Structure 1
Amino acid sequence: MKKGFVIAAAAVCLLTAACSHPSGAGSLGAKAEGEGLKELTFVLDWTPNTNHTGLYVAQEKGYFAEEGLKVNLVQPPEDGAEVLTASGKAQFGISFQDGLAPALAGDNALPVTAVASVIQHNTSGIISRKGEGMDRPRGMEGKKYATWNLPVEKAMVQNVVEGDGGDFSLVELIPSTVTDEVSALKSKSVDAIWVFYGWAGVKMELENLETDYFAFSDLNPVFDYYTPVIIGNNEFLESQPETAKAFLRAVAKGYEDAAADPEGAAKILCKAAPELDEKLVLASQKYLADRYKDDAPKWGYIDPDRWNRFYTWLGENGLTETRIPENTGFSNEYLPE
């Protein structure tokens, strides 16, 4: 799954994205011709995967139609889901709290709001070949780490390495966007990779590659931020709040079904995206089933303390253009009761 960091310059591309949206995207929602349904566009962050299953379940089971909606699920342009959603050409999309930070800070802030968490806790961490000392952060000293070369990412890795008594300057940073984590570790082109365990980690297990792994949220509670999240266009949310609530009612049902019946949900996702590996989808779906809601009072809930804690850390470490005020960039008001 693609990591969700967004560069601040993305806002500059807003008008360009608005002029090159995927076919079928409509501004602020329109009636679907001949069906009496309101048409919405939802832009993914990457190709379909188990982060998105609840959306496909809601679509397959008619939950959107029950709410009077027709939802087009589209893949993102190069500028990303945030820019397309901000432009109003998509009403909703997938993003990540860390990736939203530059979109919420400074003069180039984008008009988007996180309205639901897809997974309740951060499931990302560093994976490596087993037995090479990287079962803990300081073991990354002298090893090749595949970096996106992004400030927030590197600051987080530095924090956990130094928090474990290591020297971050001794970690060999290899700029790389790894698309096949198994091959990258087997070939030893890199030694350590930041992954979301629910996809890449599960894939390692299926391919019988023994690994070591540590999760960021286990090492520093600040890093238990929300990844991924569903974002909405601010103008749409403000002008059509009942439609936004109807959309999230349907989506919540989809994710609740995916949690209750991971095998059935995996089949629905594979039907929508037949190019996916069925074994990987099923294993990933089982891994995520209890993690969509986890210990939250309901699916999609965003804890203000956890949200604010991460952005406070970014501000204190100079990782945003300006400090992000508390309770900025998210809302629970559109979630079902």
Structure 2
Amino acid sequence: MIHRCRYAFALVAMWLLIAPAQAAGDDLKKVDIGVDWFINPNHGPLVVALERGYFAEAGLDVTLVIPQETTDNVTMVLDGRVAIGMSDQPRTQIEIANGSPLSVVGTLIPVPLNVVLAVEGGPIKTVDDIRGKRVGYADSEKTERDLLMIALAAQGITAKDITLVDVEFAMVPALLDGKVDVLTDVYRNFEPIQLELAGEKPLVFDVESGTMPTYSELVYIVNDALVEPDVVENFLTAVARGVKDIVDDPDAGWESFIAYDAKLDNELNKMAWKATVPLLAKEPARVNRQAFARFATFLVANKLVSAMPALQNYIYELEP
């Protein structure tokens, strides 16, 4: 069990300085790490750490696992398919409140990315124009839809005023093909760029701003019953090195990123990379407890959960 105390920031910093290589004769521990979506610039620190051998130097033989369905990122952690996964903070807290044995061990993206996206010149010109329209979403769980409705309620729009359409992974194509009029559950550092590259001008609405507390878009999560503290610590140490490399030299980081898979080398990812680098958590072993506490209060107040466990029950930190 991971102890609920301060993370070993000093150990991470020391590793950044000395980066001891794994002895040649030592066996690496095979570890599957789940991502939340197809590989994209949000996952840069993991890909760079993998490509530059930082996981191996930390004693881990890492394989990145892509979810088959849009909600598999959490179920892969719960059923033990991956040792560490990632999810957005709101869904993670809701899962925990509903009894899932999850804990948060670190942060990948410490700010919200979700926006509502439309095509400029189309039927949507203001938030009020969403009334009576088809709204595409990719999360087959209710989390993002519930948050959307809370945000739209502040504009006087109710669930009866819109038609929700599950478009799974095909977000922007559904918008371009006219299957939906507007998208939710899209990231400000990716889909608007994708729409722009398709020759359309994106119209972005940050409907969540001012309607709910800020939260971390992506956090690292583990299954309490299966967690291995040494794996978590070594994973976060390697990821910290990946983040530092990217921040210090984004162009070199990009070269390592596309070395993972030649298919990643495209204009969309290149533009998204530049937009994502400033958003990365510089200290991935840190968890913003204040943000989790504020959002827990918000979830209860809006009846998305009946109660939240105490923070120390699901935000775990490793002993020095």
Calculate the TM-score normalised by the size of structure 2: 0.81
Q: What's the counterpart of residue 19 of structure 2?
A: none
Q: What's the counterpart of residue 17 of structure 1?
A: none
Q: What's the counterpart of residue 116 of structure 2?
A: 126
Distance 1:329 1:184, change over 3 A: farther
- 1:323 equivalenced with 2:294 (yes/no): no
Q: Is 1:123–1:215's contact at 8 Å kept on the other side of the alignment?
A: no
Q: Is 1:255–1:292's contact at 8 Å kept on the other side of the alignment?
A: yes
In 1, the alpha carbon distance for the partners of 2:142 and 2:231 equals 37
Shift of 1:112: 2.3
In 1, the alpha carbon distance for the partners of 2:188 and 2:234 equals 31
Q: Is 2:35–2:86's contact at 8 Å kept on the other side of the alignment?
A: yes
Q: What's the counterpart of residue 241 of structure 1?
A: 229
Amino acid of the residue matched to residue 120 of structure 1?
A: P
In 2, the alpha carbon distance for the partners of 1:315 and 1:274 equals 45
SS at match of 1:174: strand
Q: Is 1:114–1:331's contact at 8 Å kept on the other side of the alignment?
A: yes
Q: What's the counterpart of residue 40 of structure 1?
A: 31
In 1, the alpha carbon distance for the partners of 2:202 and 2:313 equals 36
Q: What's the counterpart of residue 105 of structure 1?
A: 97
Which residue, out of 222, 227, 247, partners 1:259? 247
Calculate the TM-score normalised by the size of structure 1: 0.77
Q: What's the counterpart of residue 46 of structure 2?
A: 55
- 1:218 equivalenced with 2:203 (yes/no): no
Which residue, out of 293, 297, 302, partners 1:308? 293
Q: What's the counterpart of residue 16 of structure 2?
A: none
Shift of 1:93: 1.1
Q: Please list the CA deviations of residues 79-120 of structure 1 after superposition, one character each: whole Å capped at 9, or x if unmatched.
A: 7232332334421112222222343123xx232211111111
Shift of 1:201: 1.6
- 1:231 equivalenced with 2:216 (yes/no): no
- 1:174 equivalenced with 2:158 (yes/no): no
In 2, the alpha carbon distance for the partners of 1:329 and 1:56 equals 30
- 1:333 equivalenced with 2:317 (yes/no): yes
Equivalenced residues, count: 296
Shift of 1:217: 4.5
Q: Which is worse superposed, 299-308 or 113-122?
A: 299-308
Q: Is 2:103–2:223's contact at 8 Å kept on the other side of the alignment?
A: yes
Q: Please list the CA deviations of residues 137-157 of structure 1 after superposition, one character each: whole Å capped at 9, or x if unmatched.
A: 323113221145754333322
| Aligned-residue CA RMSD (Å) | 2.9
Q: Please list the CA deviations of residues 114-139 of structure 1 after superposition, one character each: whole Å capped at 9, or x if unmatched.
A: 11111110011100011457464323
1:3-18 to structure 2, matched below 5 A, reads none
Q: Is 1:43–1:75's contact at 8 Å kept on the other side of the alignment?
A: yes
% identical aligned pairs: 24
Amino acid of the residue matched to residue 81 of structure 1?
A: N
In 2, the alpha carbon distance for the partners of 1:284 and 1:330 equals 32
Which residue, out of 266, 273, 295, partners 1:278? 266
Q: Is 2:51–2:259's contact at 8 Å kept on the other side of the alignment?
A: no
Shift of 1:286: 0.5
Bigger RCO (CA 8 Å, 6+ sep): 2
Which stretches in structure 2 are left out of the alignment for 5+ residues?
Answer: 1-23
Shift of 1:285: 0.8
In 2, the alpha carbon distance for the partners of 1:55 and 1:144 equals 36
Amino acid of the residue matched to residue 272 of structure 2?
A: S
Q: Which is worse superposed, 209-218 or 73-82?
A: 73-82
Q: Please list the CA deviations of residues 308-334 of structure 1 after superposition, one character each: whole Å capped at 9, or x if unmatched.
A: 2223222223323x4112416643624
Which residue, out of 169, 174, 188, partners 1:184? 174
SS at match of 1:41: strand
Q: What's the counterpart of residue 6 of structure 2?
A: none
Q: Please list the CA deviations of residues 276-331 of structure 1 after superposition, one character each: whole Å capped at 9, or x if unmatched.
A: 352111111100111113xx7x34532212112223222223323x4112416643
Q: Is 1:137–1:160's contact at 8 Å kept on the other side of the alignment?
A: no
SS at match of 1:209: coil
In 1, the alpha carbon distance for the partners of 2:263 and 2:193 equals 18
In 2, the alpha carbon distance for the partners of 1:86 and 1:220 equals 31
Which residue, out of 250, 253, 278, partners 1:290? 278
Q: Is 2:167–2:174's contact at 8 Å kept on the other side of the alignment?
A: no
